Each structure stands twice: as C-alpha cells, then as structure tokens.
Amino acid sequence: DQQVKQNSPSLSVQEGRISILNCDYTNSMFDYFLWYKKYPAEGPTFLISISSIKDKNEDGRFTVFLNKSAKHLSLHIVPSQPGDSAVYFCAASESGGSNYKLTFGKGTLLTVNP
Amino acid sequence: NAGVMQNPRHLVRRRGQEARLRCSPMKGHSHVYWYRQLPEEGLKFMVYLQKENIIDESGMPKERFSAEFPKEGPSILRIQQVVRGDSAAYFCASSPQGKRVGLGDTEAFFGQGTRLTVV
C-alpha cells in the first residue's frame, strides 16, 4: 500500500534544461510535503518543502508545485546542473500527533548530462 | 547532515547473528528517528525515540528488533537473529524537536546510513 508514489524510476535531462520530477499521494491526511536529495552512499538531504496551504514554494533553482485536488506535486529544477544528478525522494507527513513521521516514495534517479 | 554519525557504515552478519547499529545525533538534538530502506524501495519509518523513551515504534517489526536511546551515549538499533530479509540500508535522523520535520528549525538531518548485509 504505497501512499506516496514516484512513478518514474529515472529521468535524464541535458545540462541547462528543466528537470521535472513528479510525485502522487493517496493519503488525504498528508498536509506537508518534502523533497530530499540523495547521493550514493550518503543519507538523504532535505531540499525543499511545501505546506498544503500553499500551491508553490520556490528556493533558488528549485520550485515545488502542489495540486491538492489531484494529490500531485512536482519538483522543478531550472537550470539543471550535472551536480544535481542524484536520487530524489518525495516525502509527506500527516497533520496531528504523528507529524514527525515521514512517508517516502521510492525515488527518481535524475541524471543531468553535460 | 554530516553531523549525524552512524557506525558502522557497512556491517556483514551471518544468518542468526546479532546486528547493532549506532547513531549519534547532532549536537543539541534530543529526538532520533530510524528508517530502513530495502532494495529498490523508499525509506520506511521504524521508530522514534527521545532520550530514555520510545515514543513511537509502530514501524518496527515486533520480533527481533529493538531500539534504545540512553541518557548517555548513542541510540542503538539492535536486530537479533538476523535473516537475509534484514539486508538493507538503515538510516538515522535527528532533530531538535519532535514536530513537523522539515519545517524550519525542526528539520531532521539524516546520517550516512549503515548498510547491513546478511549472508
């Protein structure tokens, strides 16, 4: 029972172009969403987050869009750089007493080609 | 995230042995979370601890697994009588508070993980 789904296991883009990573969720109780970046043999690093009261959050080259009605979010990276090559995990947490608990997707491997 | 220290980085155990994974949180953090990543999967929550207390162990298998976070020293995830299905990467995260990880100063920082291989 996957509550957070990243349906694209991998994505390849050219340096300088836009990378769009997608994530869908099924749990209506999720109200906070995060993206983590992970390099091989390292732990996940927090990238950007968004609350369900917003539909967009921007931080430099990274923008996260949230469509609550579609239960869909996406991460845009513009312009993409070779150093962005990593696995990107979408994660979500519920409101209420268990809001410390993150539910992760399976990840999308992004490769940015020079 | 380099502040959360996990050791060992790699651990090989034979079936039936015990595995002990250690996690030292970032300085000033009193909340520790353990996650497991099975091959081809995302990270899955296992347990949330504060000093000397288990707050939520709902994600931890009922048998063979235990966790502690003593008053002094690192948090320990212990797996008894390991089986091949326990082979995974185990990640520890810490935060200054136990609420809404990822938001401002409640961000949870992950360690580099321990890769457990059961042979």
Using CA coordinates, name the residue in chain A closest to B109. Answer: A45
Evaluate the omega torsion of the peptide bond into residue B8 and state whether it is cis, within 30 degrees of 0.
yes
Give me the average pLDDT of each 10-residue run along chain B (119 residues).
Answer: 86 98 92 93 93 93 96 95 97 78 61 96
- Chain B hits for A44, CB-CB cut-off 8 Å, are 1, 43, 91, 110
Q: How far is CA A8 from CA A82, A91, A110, B43, B57, in A?
A: 19, 15, 10, 17, 31
Q: What is the pLDDT of residue B105?
A: 42
- Give the mean model confidence (pLDDT) for residues A94-112: 89
Q: By the 8 A CB rule, do A58 and A39 touch?
A: no
Closest in A41, A42, A106 to B42, CB measured: A106
pLDDT of residue B1: 45
| pLDDT tens-place string over residues A35-71 | 999 999 899 998 999 999 999 999 999 999 999 999 9
Dihedral pair phi/psi, residue B27, rounded to 5°: -60, 130
Mean pLDDT value across residues A82-110: 91
**Could you tell me which residues of chain B have a Cβ less than 8 Å from any Cβ in chain A?**
1, 4, 6, 9, 31, 33, 35, 40-45, 48, 56, 59, 91, 93, 95, 98-103, 107-113
Residue reference for tokens 């949870």: B108
